[in-house]
Structure 1
Amino acid sequence: MRVYLPATIAMLRKLDTEGEFAPVSGTGFALTPALRESYTSGDTEELEYAALLDAARASLRLMAAERENGEKEPARRAVVSADVDDVTLRPDLDVAVVRLGGPVPRGRIAAVHVDTAEAEEPVLAAAEVIDAADLGDEDAEFTLGEAEDHELAWYAVQELPFFLELL
């Protein structure tokens, strides 16, 4: 199953050095039966993109937590897409949520999706208000939308060391 795993730049650096990606609490997002049922239309590609966007939003939460702990990496959403077999569906959490059985080795990673430099300011602003947006604050939701207007760039896993070096 193709899964989309929320990440941060610091987590991508760890992936690069350790050769595997350990999602926080084993949590990822995927095109699950519950996600498919929640949409009235859309092909597989469109629904997988919806799961990727859920992972990108979760990336904001991870970034906010890192920044509270003093992390100073660039403010860019990151998502690791991988093909894994050991997945448990978690519709009790959300329609696209899955739980992985363990870390994902580099060889199972299909791509890495990361914001471009132009998105840093709105992404940082969104990370600061993500909790308020979740609680229904309309201004925070607008700020979140500004960040989500930016498309994530696609990188092959082989490009990751070069990408990180150029940050």
Structure 2
Amino acid sequence: MRVYIPATIAMLRQLLDNGELRALSGTAFALTPALRESYTTGSAEELEYAALLEAARASLRLLGADDAEPARRVVVSADVPDAKPRPDLDHAVVRLPGPVALSMIAALHVDTPDAEDHVRAAAKVVDAADLGDPDAEFTLGDAEDHELSWYATQELPFLLELL
């Protein structure tokens, strides 16, 4: 199953150092049967993209107040055959059985530098947006207007070096 793991730049550094990624609480997102049922239309590609966007939103929650790392949403795409759907949590949520090895990772998706101010602001209000605050939703929308850039796993050292 292709999963989308919310992450941070610091987690990418750990991935490079350790050769594996540990998702917070083992949580990731994927095109699950529940997600497919929640949409009346949409191709598999469109629904996979919806799962990726859910992971990007979740990555906002991982960003702390620490300004040492760039404020960028990070999503790691990986193929994890034993991921278990968790429809009790949300339509796209899956639980990973353990750390994800670098060899299982298909791609990295990371915000570009021009998104940092919007991402930093969105990280502060993501919970309020989820609770329906219209101003917070607007701020979150500013961050979500930025497309994530795609990187191959071989590019990880260079990506981190350029930050």
TM-score by length of 2: 0.98
Unaligned runs of 5+ in 2: none
Alignment correspondent of 1:7: 7
| Aligned positions of 1:97-112 closer than 5 A | 97-112=93-108
Q: How many residues align?
A: 163
Q: Secondary structure at the match of 2:106?
A: strand
Give me the identity figure in percent.
73
| CA distance 1:71–1:86, change in 2 (3 Å) | farther
TM-score by length of 1: 0.96
Amino acid at match of 1:127: A
Post-superposition offset of 1:86: 1.4
Distance in 1 (CA, whole Å) between partners of 2:80 and 2:116 is 30
Amino acid at match of 2:35: L
Alignment correspondent of 2:33: 33
Measured on the aligned residues, the alpha-carbon RMSD in Å equals 0.7
Post-superposition offset of 1:131: 1.3
| Aligned positions of 1:14-163 closer than 5 A | 14-63=14-63, 66-67=64-65, 70=66, 72-163=68-159
Q: Secondary structure at the match of 1:76?
A: coil
Distance in 2 (CA, whole Å) between partners of 1:137 and 1:78 is 24
Q: Deviations over 1:31-88 (max 9, x none)?
A: 000000111111111000000000000000011xx32xx3520000000000011111
Q: Secondary structure at the match of 2:124?
A: helix
Amino acid at match of 1:9: I
Q: Secondary structure at the match of 1:110?
A: strand
Which runs of at least 4 in structure 1 moved beyond 3 Å after TM superposition?
none
Distance in 1 (CA, whole Å) between partners of 2:92 and 2:27 is 10
Distance in 1 (CA, whole Å) between partners of 2:53 and 2:160 is 22
